[in-house]
A and B are shown apart, each in its own frame.
Chain A
């Protein structure tokens, strides 16, 4: 079966094509809502974040650069940033950082670009996250998905500031190494 690429759908969204817009929302709504609900932990706020994400995608579609990453990564980064802004401004109660990484089988349609991503980058990131010591993983999740600074993490975890910084940096080094391995393996 022929499947329209993510890039083509984004082009259609940018031009205001109704069919492409509907297909774009249908393809990515579960992923965007998944990012939003896991960070803001509130269905109403998550829907607002998710809707805002699609609005931003339409408004900023021309700025998307395929050389810098996939449409999915670009779109989910928009969702992440909006969700973090919401958490910061609304003082949302943070869920257990371990729960945010709970894995489930993907639902709904995925484009060919997304399927390729899942088979490589995302799998390696999942593996790298799973291999992290729990304290590093927790520090990374608090920083990456809840926008917590090293100082805030040191206070909430009752650890020295230097330890919080080290945990974040070490975790990030391992994730980056996983992505670099991925890039090299695909070449």
Chain B
């Protein structure tokens, strides 16, 4: 993509960057903006500036004294988490459930397609998950992938990733790299879901990773044999 064609999308992209930064842009608009950001450094800078504006917004909300005992309960939860006690909050359970539901929906679509396409086979679909790990072994999020003759991937990026636009790639057992799409991470949060190309062009993925515009790998989710 040359500079001229990249600039041609700057005006409509600029109109939508505030909504992207706020995390409320969806559908084809979001896809179009992310595709443009992938090839336009100027708009990526502009996107980062909008993200900084959004990051400052919560500071205007007034303080409020938490309920009695909040501090002690919070410190106890931190201690318990550090001690690896498997305790999860209501919010965390709900968020994890949402991630699993999203992944299961993807898996269901895959299963339905498989059944539709090959009603005479017993092809089945299962779901694999893997932690996304960044530099120094830092947890950066989770990736889910359906197994079977078709693969669907769901990537949920968490707070270990800085604001930016990243390429989602799969790497198969032959080290073939396939670009799957783009994910926007705002204030450490972002998600991407999509289908891998057919097996004619892509082998069974052994990992999914996020790559910075400059080509540096940010974090990786490695799937075991069960995902094959």
Q: Which residues of A contact B (CB under 8 A)?
A: 16, 21-22, 25-26, 29-31, 33-35, 37-38, 43, 45-52, 54-56, 58-60, 62-63, 65, 68-69, 72-74, 76-82, 84-86, 89-90, 100-104, 106-108, 117, 121-122, 125-126, 129, 143-145, 147-150, 165, 168-169, 172-173, 175-176, 179
Structural contact, A33 and B65, CB atoms closer than 8 A: yes
A69 is contacted by which of B56, B62, B74 (Cβ under 8 Å)? Answer: B56
Residue B121 at the A interface, CB < 8 A?
no
- How far does the alpha carbon of A55 sit from the alpha carbon of B74 in the complex, in Å? 8
Q: What chain B residues lie within 8 Å of A31 (beta carbons)?
A: 63
Query: A80 contacts B58, CB within 8 Å?
Result: yes
Q: Are A89 and B94 in contact (CB under 8 A)?
A: yes
> Would you call A30 and B159 a contact (CB within 8 A)?
no
Which listed residue (B64, B158, B161) contacts A34, Cβ 8 A? B64
30 cross-chain CB contacts under 8 A: A25-B71, A25-B78, A30-B63, A33-B65, A38-B62, A43-B67, A45-B91, A51-B89, A52-B91, A60-B160, A62-B136, A63-B138, A63-B162, A68-B163, A72-B59, A78-B187, A80-B187, A81-B187, A81-B188, A81-B189, A85-B94, A89-B98, A101-B61, A117-B59, A121-B59, A125-B60, A144-B54, A147-B24, A149-B19, A175-B56
* B94, A90: Cβ atoms closer than 8 Å: yes
Query: Across the two chains, which residue of chain A brings its CB closest to B21?
Result: A172
* Known interface pairs A52-B89, A62-B138, A150-B19; A176-B60 also in contact (CB < 8 Å): no
Contact of A29 among B61, B70, B81 (CB under 8 A): B70
CA distance in complex: A22, B70 (Å) = 12
Taking CB atoms, residues of chain A closer than 8 Å to B59 are 72-73, 76, 117, 121-122, 125
Chain A residues closer than 8 Å to B70, beta-carbon distance: 29, 33, 47, 50-51
Residues of A within 8 A of B32 (CB): none
Q: Mark B50-93, 1 if CB is under 8 A from A, else 0.
A: 10111111111111111100110111011001100000011110
